[in-house]
A = this chain, B = another copy of it.
Amino acid sequence: MIDAALPHVVIIGGGFAGLWAVRALADTPVRITLLDRGNHHLFQPLLYQVATAGLSAPDIAAPLRHILRNQPNVTVLMEEVSGIDPAGHRITLKDGRHVDFDYALLATGATHAYFGHDDWAKHAPGLKSLDDALDIRRRILSAFERAEATDDPEERKALLTFGIVGGGPTGVELAGTMAEIARHTLNHEFRHIDPSHARVMLLEAGPRVLSSFDPDLSEKARLQLQRLGVDVLTGAPVAAIDAEGVQLGERHIPARTVLWAAGVAASPLACTLGVPLDRAGRVSVESDLSVPGHPHLFVAGDLATIQSDGRPVPGVAPAAKQMGKHVAAVIRDRLAGRPAKHFRYRDFGNLATIGRMAAVVQLGRWKLSGALAWWFWLLAHVFFLIGFRNRLVVMLNWTWAYWTYQRAARIILGKELKPGS
């Protein structure tokens, strides 16, 4: 049994920040409660593969309590948190119950932001959870099915037009993979349509895709996308999205499937803290990742905003893991009466995959693109996947997909969504 007299550390969110914090506290004399509204840790960097039918949902997720089964000082509870009272050291659950803490870490990550156009959400879903991925998979596959079934040439064209809003890593991955599906996977399987005539548009408001990379790699990414068949539109801010398509300036492009990869906003729990938030709803944390004025409460991962070496720490998995581990170290320091260290982000580089044999990699001044970058990306991602079995299954799926151009998870689950539903 867990000693109830030990300090109670409550960690909200079992993503990279939360899970790495829990693990780093394995040998610390604390009792830990990990709260998550789902039952699994999600390997988010491969989520786009579930959305594009390359992997099954369980391939990139593992139950939190299974991952932590051998760490006796942690209790995993599937609970949704509705509020946090930093001064009262108290967390409120959705059903009204309370959890008191000595230390707490809020690591609930980010959600989609539609820049004040919340009505776009139903027409252009974003990609953050497994449910989002299955919804997007259903929309993509159903669009081809409906194009095959319709007799109306205008409708068919709109069904075979796909818009991806946002030229960051997620948008680039989705666009590249969708072009591959249309050109290779679905080829020869339809009688009334030619899937390879589908139009995949990547719509980026700024001047270039992958703006977190150096400009020469952005250009290489654009060329690789175009070679895969993606229509890359930069300087193309979306003015409106409705059930029929997207509005680009004066032009309305009929597109029945629009995906959102443009904006992220911090999870709404941050609002319950009563501290100032930045424009994206993130908490500006102290250098030790604590919330200003509340040294016992920490924020890590995509929900936190902080500078390191004069630059903002990016919202990527390695940063979240490092923050999680840092919070664990600060809690240990506090318990031992030592001063807490400042968080410093170690940037190991930036990777983005584009499609088959296409990727860009930037590690400091070392840059790669094309096939070599793709192999590098692939090995790095399989290596970091949690759980031996998942790695094996993902490798098997990818090997199979590579040689056959097929995708393992081309199954429409749930009700078909009509456009605009």
Contact = CB atoms under 8 A, between A and B. Distances in A.
A397 B396 CA distance: 12
A63 B410 contact: yes
Contacts of A69: 188-189
A78 interface: yes
Interface in A1-24: 2
Given A134-B413, A189-B66, A408 B393 contact: yes
Contact of A39 (B40, B63, B78, B412): B412
Contact of A58 (B389, B400, B409): B409
Of the listed residues A58, A149, A412, the one surrounded by the most CB atoms of chain B closer than 10 A to its CB is: A58
A47 B78 CA distance: 26
Given A131-B413, A389-B408, A412-B39, A191 B2 contact: yes
B410 A58 contact: yes
Interface in A149-176: 149
A414 interface: yes
Interface string A58-76: 1101010110010000011
A411 interface: yes
A145 B58 contact: no
A409 B61 CA distance: 9
A411 B57 contact: yes
Contacts of A190: 65
A257 to B, nearest CB: 15
Given A393-B393, A393-B396, A414 B148 contact: no
Interface string A382-418: 0000000100110011001000101011111110100
Interface of A: 2, 38-40, 53, 56-59, 61, 63, 65-66, 69, 75-79, 130-131, 134, 141-142, 145-146, 148-149, 188-192, 389, 392-393, 396-397, 400, 404, 406, 408-414, 416
